[in-house]
Copies of this chain bind each other. A is one copy, B any other.
């Protein structure tokens, strides 16, 4: 048996939904699985999304042999543009996933430098000391793969996101027979999707969504709009199928969805007879009952087509009574309120809105408990590391594993950055490396401990008050009463008197020798502090106070 341990390090995807990234390290070889983004949460003002902190990978860049991608959703590929800027590493993905990655990198002008490779399932290849084999799983996107990584210590099976669907949209059911062959000689470690590990029973098949979309489109009297994720290719196929059946044309709104649909059509992942998909300008010439509009915006994203349509701010589409709007997605946690507002706005405009709470127009793509048990039973691993999910999901999954006979000491609920070392005999968390979120704010990256975020939270809560003092360098006295301005702090009628008193208070403080002998920075801090205390006493608010002192 080899002496070296296998090191397993989550850099993302634990403790939070999204932002998946797992590191497998054996001696001088590293493979990385997935490179996703985490969608911004409500308490992260100004942040677009988060990517994993890859300091550990940058420090070990010479060891990295490959990034393996399980499937083409944002929370698995979204960080690639950032990661590939730092790491010149080959990326391996299935055909459709490769297509989606290419679209993403091309949009950022980063495609030509990337080393992208297409992987066929069940076609093993070597990267460093590892032998890698992709196997088919079902998820809410075609060409989703699990990955078997044969290491000198044994086989690691990483499921990616999966569910067990006997009637999936793309016809490729989870291939248990092949997985059984791959894992026939025993499995060291199973890393398995935990997103729905809390939920009993089985997840429903994508087939019922196809049926619900079909019946909604059949019964629609006017125009139909379908909102979903840009990457939910199988939904687009359902819609195209219904369009053909009920003699409608499909038009696609929004850049990311158009790009993905075109790519998927070119690659054969979508099939539509010529003339089925038409441009918006052509769709506008058709009677409403001949049109289906596909758009993004199922998460209530403020700049998306659907939200602009719901607000009456879209240049091409205006909702009219008789329209049917289908939201074919569930809100990602944190988006519940904005999605609900979008639905309400569409109802107010007279649309008939179908959404997951009242119609089966969406099912998710993750295994529930019985499916997870089936995976555990088939793979029968020595060790279990639940991945993909918040901490409580990982714990549910670990308990499920224990109920299936995996000893408690062989199940590991990890945090990002934990270094798990596995040998043939035992596993231990031996170290913690830097890990966590890097926040993407437009073109800037913010460290997760950045003051910017806490400053913004404080600004959001109580606003800002600025006091400007001009001191005479010769006399040390203020030339005029200090000026006070604010934003987000108080209504004008309330602040006018308050700011006059603030100004007087500062003047009095300065005149009472407050300025004497103090350095400028000390004086500033003292004035800021006295203003903060004064405003809190008067208003019970704690605005950010910025003091500027000029000496002339």
Could you list which residues of chain A lie within 8 angstroms of chain B, going by C-beta atoms?
A: 15, 41-43, 45-46, 198-199, 333-334, 336-337, 340, 343-344, 347-348, 353, 357-358, 390-392, 395-396, 441-444, 446, 450-452, 455-464, 466, 468, 470, 479-480, 483, 485, 487-491, 494, 539-541, 544, 546, 548, 550, 552
Contacts and interface: CB of A to CB of B under 8 A. Distances in A.
A333 B337 contact: yes
A488 B42 CA distance: 16
B463 A550 contact: no
Given A41-B337, A455-B488, A468-B548, 4 more contacts: A45-B461, A340-B392, A443-B539, A444-B491
B487 A455 contact: yes
Given A198-B358, A444-B539, A462-B46, A337 B334 contact: yes
B391 A348 contact: yes
Contact of A487 (B358, B470, B544): B544
Contact of A456 (B43, B46, B488): B488
Nearest to A552: B479
Contacts of A336: 333-334, 336
A459 B468 contact: no
Nearest to A413: B347
Contacts of A43: 337
Given A46-B461, A337-B41, A444-B539, A392 B344 contact: yes
Contacts of A347: 391-392, 395
A468 B549 CA distance: 9
A443 B538 CA distance: 10
A305 to B, nearest CB: 20
B487 A442 contact: no
A9 to B, nearest CB: 19
B344 A15 contact: yes
B396 A358 contact: yes
A371 to B, nearest CB: 17
A460 B490 contact: no
A358 B456 CA distance: 36
A460 B46 contact: yes
A548 B546 CA distance: 12
A546 B392 contact: no
Contact of A491 (B392, B450, B485, B490): B450
Chain A to chain B: the 8 pairs with minimum beta-carbon distance, closest first: A460-B460, A45-B460, A455-B488, A459-B459, A456-B488, A344-B391, A468-B548, A479-B552
A392 B488 CA distance: 32
A199 B396 CA distance: 27
Contact of A459 (B42, B446, B487): B487
Given A358-B198, A390-B344, A483 B452 contact: no
A12 to B, nearest CB: 16
Contacts of A488: 45-46, 452, 455-456, 458-459, 544
A459 B546 CA distance: 14
Nearest to A548: B468
B395 A444 contact: no
Nearest to A470: B550
20 contacts: A41-B337, A45-B460, A45-B488, A46-B463, A347-B391, A347-B392, A442-B540, A444-B490, A444-B491, A444-B539, A446-B491, A452-B488, A452-B489, A456-B459, A456-B463, A456-B488, A459-B487, A464-B546, A483-B548, A487-B546
